[in-house]
Amino acid sequence: MIRVFVPRDTTAAALGADAVAAAILGEAARCGLAIELVRNGSRGACWLEPLVEVDDGHGRRAFGPVSVDDVPDLFVAGFPGRCDHPLALGDPAEIPWLARQHRLTFARAGLADPVSLDDYQALGGLAGLRKALVMEPQAIVDAVKASGLRGRGGAAFPTGIKWQTVHDTPAEQKYIACNADEGDSGTFADRLLMEADPYQLIEGMAIAGLAVGATQGFIYLRSEYPRARDTLEQAIAHAGRTGVLGDDILGSGRAFHLELRLGANAYICGEETSMLESLEGKRGLVRFKPPLPAIEGLHGQPTVINNVLSLAAASSILADGPEAYAALGSGRSKGTLTVQLGGNVKRGGLVELPFGTPLRTALEDYGGGTASGRPLRAVQVGGPLGTYLPEALWDTPLDYEAFAEVGGMLGHGGVVLFDDTVDMGHMARFAMEFCAVESCGKCTPCRVGSVRGMEVIDRLRAGDDREGALALLEELCETMEDGSLCAMGGLTPKPVRSALEHFPEDFC
């Protein structure tokens, strides 16, 4: 039977995919055509969503972006059979925007029904877990170390070293805590993975459990992602029923249990110790470090805390070997980076590239410039605590060290584009406002400094006592940097300072 794929992904749905799916079913019934509708994940080409695909047994063909109004017209042209139509894109794997990427973590995204474990295995899934089940825990940790994987949540700490600490710390109970809080504006890679390929995350967490001796895992998912929640709930339940999770993983006699926990809308709960507090049912107040969570984490027990993408990467590192992973990338940034192009961008979506690719390649070759068609003026990389970059810095290679050199950070890979109508003075003020709204409240420089920061930027922009206001803003930024317990207060000055440095004309 002809299979028709319509993504169930949040962005696809936000652009009408559910209605498109219903219209296709209705139209097919009206024409007396038997089709099988598959709600797949998204390939991450958000600009082509809803991206409808057809598989008639002789390869896949894509159509997009498809609106409800296009559906009758498509059927008139011969859809789902082979047909000429302005929306026809041919073989989706050969759409240049997708074909030129180096898909590793997102290789399976969009190919299948995310909840189908059979599809997951047919596409190579569980190979990493099967290998890990016959390895010594230390050998698993060594493989992750050898891959050079660094945490994808923002801080880029070597994942293998973190796992080693948990492995080496004896305890009755250890935990794996997956950070799926994905609070950074302009980022959606975790969401896309959880909605398109949830078993990869589940597999990676089970591997982490085997490596460090943890039998219980938690996924801390932000409540802003109801579709990811739905997909994960189904996948976790199915993994439990089929013995991928539970007391006897794939018949090995080894145990790993997994629970999904929902956040409640607080940016700071993405900070790892705040997340632990939240997982313990408390306010998300950031903890002092030390002790490291790897030694005293959830409920005081050794805990691996990793981002969704870090844990998912463990699956392919085990499946294909650490060498294959380490062969990609540049310098000390190994593997692939998932750039997420958002904001005022013509062809936005998820672009997975080896580290070291120039930012400009992402902005121009993939992004295609602004959605508005106006000149691109500023780019914020690395989320709300990330630096605003002017054109002079767009040739910076996408790797951790190169970005640090220009005073930026890659963070979770969010890249937000702004055209020439942006008011950078307003964006700097917004950075302070965001910090004021989302501060956990523990440190005065963060809680109060951010409110003062808004006032000072207002004064600066009003033009009264410019010199005084500038000096005060500088002093405030220094106080926040020096006197904040975590990066919320500590890095908020980054967007503020970079806006002021590179776009001073917007502060008059």
Ligand X SMILES: Cc1cc2nc3c(=O)[nH]c(=O)nc-3n(C[C@H](O)[C@H](O)[C@H](O)COP(=O)(O)O)c2cc1C
- Tell me which residues touch another protein (CB under 8 A): 10-11, 13-15, 46-47, 49, 182-188, 191, 223-226, 261-267, 278-284, 299, 340-345, 348-349, 371, 380, 384, 414, 416-419, 422, 427, 430, 434, 437-438
Binding mask 271-310 for ligand X (x = CB under 6 A): xx--------------------------------xxx--x
Nearer of residues 195 and 438 to ligand SF4, judged by Cβ: 438
- Would you give the DSSP letter of residue 114? T
CA distance 36 to 55: 10
CB 183 to ligand X: min, Å: 4
Distance of CA 21 to the CA centre of its chain: 26
- The three-class DSSP label of residue 414 is strand
Q: Which does 384 bind (CB under 5 to 8 A by kind): ligand SF4, ligand X, another protein, none?
A: another protein
Show contacts with ligand X in window 179-208 (CB under 6 A).
Answer: 179, 181-183
Work out the angle at residue 64's Cα, subtended by the Cα atoms of residues 59 and 67, and round it to the nearest 5 degrees: 130
Q: Which does 419 bind (CB under 5 to 8 A by kind): another protein, ligand SF4, ligand X, none?
A: another protein
CB 414 to ligand SF4: min, Å: 19
Token readout for 280 is 């313990």
Work out the angle at residue 255's Cα, subtended by the Cα atoms of residues 253 and 258, and round it to the nearest 5 degrees: 150
- Would you give the DSSP letter of residue 100? T
Residue 88 binds ligand X (CB under 6 A) = no
Residue 260, strand partner residues: 219
Could you tell me if residue 254 is left (phi over 0), alpha (psi between -120 and 50 degrees) or otherwise beta? beta
Nearest to 211 by CA among 309, 296, 145: 145
Question: Which whole-number Å values give the CA distances from 164 to 159, 189, 200, 430, in the listed order?
Answer: 9, 26, 22, 40
Nearer of residues 114 and 154 to ligand SF4, judged by Cβ: 154
Nearer of residues 191 and 461 to another protein, judged by Cβ: 191
Residues at the interface with ligand SF4 (CB under 6 A): 268, 286, 439-443, 446-447, 484-486, 488-489
Q: Which positions ≥6 away from 290 have C-beta within 8 Å? A: none
List the strands of the sheet with 387-389, edge to edge.
349-354, 336-343, 414-419, 376-381, 387-389
Q: Which does 439 bind (CB under 5 to 8 A by kind): another protein, ligand SF4, ligand X, none?
A: ligand SF4
List the strands of the sheet with 175-180, edge to edge.
257-262, 216-221, 175-180, 303-307
Nearer of residues 90 and 226 to ligand X, judged by Cβ: 226
CB 451 to ligand SF4: min, Å: 12
Q: Which does 357 bind (CB under 5 to 8 A by kind): another protein, ligand X, ligand SF4, none?
A: none
CB 19 to another protein: min, Å: 11
Nearer of residues 104 and 436 to ligand SF4, judged by Cβ: 436
Q: Which does 109 bind (CB under 5 to 8 A by kind): ligand X, another protein, ligand SF4, none?
A: none
Residue 439 binds ligand X (CB under 6 A) = no
Nearest to 220 by CA among 287, 268, 163: 268
Nearer of residues 65 and 160 to another protein, judged by Cβ: 65
CB 54 to ligand X: min, Å: 36
CB 487 to ligand X: min, Å: 4
Show contacts with ligand X in window 478-497 (CB under 6 A).
Answer: 486-488
Q: Which does 489 bind (CB under 5 to 8 A by kind): ligand X, ligand SF4, another protein, none?
A: ligand SF4
Q: How many residues in the chain?
A: 508
Q: Which does 442 bind (CB under 5 to 8 A by kind): another protein, ligand X, ligand SF4, none?
A: ligand SF4
- Would you give the DSSP letter of residue 362? I
Give the total of residues touching ligand X (CB under 6 A).
22
Q: Which positions ≥6 away from 251 have C-beta within 8 Å? A: 243
Element counts in the chain: helices (H) and strands (E): 22, 16
Nearest to 175 by CA among 56, 256, 282, 94: 256
Token readout for 490 is 């500590």
Pick the binder of ligand X from 80, 209, 270, 297 (CB under 6 A). 270
Question: Which whole-number Å values give the CA distances from 155 to 68, 253, 273, in the listed order?
Answer: 42, 35, 14
Residues making contact with ligand X (CB under 6 A) = 151-155, 157, 159, 179, 181-183, 268, 270-272, 305-307, 310, 486-488
